Structures are given as structure tokens and as C-alpha cells.
Amino acid sequence: MVDHLANTEINSQRIAAVENCFGASGQPLALPGRVLLGEGILTKECRKKPKPRIFFLFNDILVYGSIIINKRKYNSQHIIPLEDVTLETLPDTLQMKNRWMIKTSKKSFVVSAASLTERKEWISHLEECIKHLLTKTGRQPCREPAAPWIPDKATDICMRCTQTKFSTLTRRHHCRKCGFVVCADCSRQRFLMPRLSPKPLRVCNLCYRQLLAEKKKEAEADRRQAEPIRAATQGYEPSSGDDSDKSDDEKAEQWPADTEFYTSEVSWSSFHS
């Protein structure tokens, strides 16, 4: 179906319609070979509460955004490369049914469909596109997805110290490493995780200690790997070449006039000749 729709007028019109709905706030979506395969509204478990979001499945990316006017205006566009996506089916809860998790290296989140059939169709099409892309590019599936944020209402107390109660004055925070809801005292540290952000991110105290230990272990491994190289080069001094400040005349005086540098009878020629 992808090959059949690629570069067709109807596919171009569908993609243009999606771009128009996002307006200037969205990024251009039309690319050679890109095909819009389907769309639908899914409920996304957000930090505060579940919210409806519009999702568009292309053969290489998944796009979603907030609904202002359905079929007419969307904003807060997010684009996820399908090569970075893995899926996990989740059990139902009292609040949400037909759930599954969309996991990527930068962000993971839970969505739910209106019916079990709709969930099966979404997962089936996503898995087919992901498999095709990975086969085409030769890449491996994402092995270290980001932890999903646990919703604020999932707990009334800090999930680390289990002592601090959240209130209007006591804010909830999220650890960017484990996704737990934690208090300020349990998440005062910041740590640089380039996979998630170019800036240091808030992490809980436990994850901070674990990340420091991992960093120390990696540094130790790098040091041990470099030791054989240092040992092999130990005792060697860099050649001074012609960097000496002495003049050519001073250099010439250091050698006896009758010294024969080339005793072989084989003729040789200068590289500059």
C-alpha cells in the first residue's frame, strides 16, 4: 500500500491538509516517499490528567498534537521517528482501558484507544511500519527507552522518601531518569543526560547516585583502556625537528667537516630536485 500511495496526488493532498491544520506552528511534513497511512484520536496519559490527542501515522514518523478544532486546527506538534519507537501493551485500569505504551529514547508515554479493535489496529500498523524501516535502514530497535512520567494523581506522597505529602504549597516533581513523582528535597540534583537533553535535568537522589556510579565506572574503563597506549609510548621524546632557535651556521659548527653522512656508493637525489 505504501508503494502504491507514494508520490500520488491523493497522498500529497492528505499531507498538505495535515500541514494546514497545524499551520505555522507545525513543521513541514511532505517528503519524497513519505505516505500518510492513517489518523485517529487517542487519549494520552499526561502529567495532570488524560487528554485527547490527534495522531497521524506515516510510513516513517508518528505525529501528534493538541486538538483545537477537530479536522481544522491543531497545535503543539510532536514528531517521532518510527525507527526509535518500541511498543508495550498495558493492562486496563479503572480510569483507562485499551492502553499501550509508546517508548522512545527521548520520551515514553501511555495512550489508550476507544476500543480493543482500534488498539489492535494501531499496534499492528505501527509494528509493521517499524519493522519495515528497521529492515530498510539496518538499525537496531531502541534498547534504552526513556522512563514514562507517572501521573501526578497516582500518588499523594513522595515516591522516594514516602514521608512528604503533596499539597498546594508542596509541589510535585518528576525524576527524568525513573519518572517517579518526588518532592523537592528528594530531587535537588541535576545530571547531564545527552540522550534526553543538552542541559542537566532534575533527577531523584537515588538515580543521581546511580548515574554518578555509572559515570565513574565508565571513566575507570576509559582509563584502563588508555593505560596500554601510555605504557607503549613511555620513554619516547617527540622529535625536535627544525624547531630549534639556533641558526643554521651554529648547527653546522656542531659537526666535524670531514664527517661522511652517506658512505654508500649508491647515488641518491634530493626530494626537492
CATH of 149-221, one of 3.20.20.70, 3.30.40.10, 1.10.3720.10, 1.10.1740.10: 3.30.40.10
pLDDT-based confidence at 264, cuts 50/70/90? very low
Q: 102: which strand partners?
A: 87, 109
pLDDT of 234 reads 63
31-50 residue pLDDT tens: 998 999 999 999 999 988 99
Domain boundaries, the chain: 3-137, 149-221
Percent of the chain scored above 70 by pLDDT? 83
pLDDT of 237 reads 55
pLDDT of 224 reads 84
Write down the pTM of the prediction.
0.75
pLDDT of 31 reads 93
pLDDT of 225 reads 82
What are the DSSP calls for 196-238, one per residue? T-SS-EEE-HHHHHHHHHHHHHHHHHHHHHHHHHHHHHTT---
Is the domain 3-137 a CATH 1.10.10.10 member?
A: no
pLDDT-based confidence at 272, cuts 50/70/90? very low
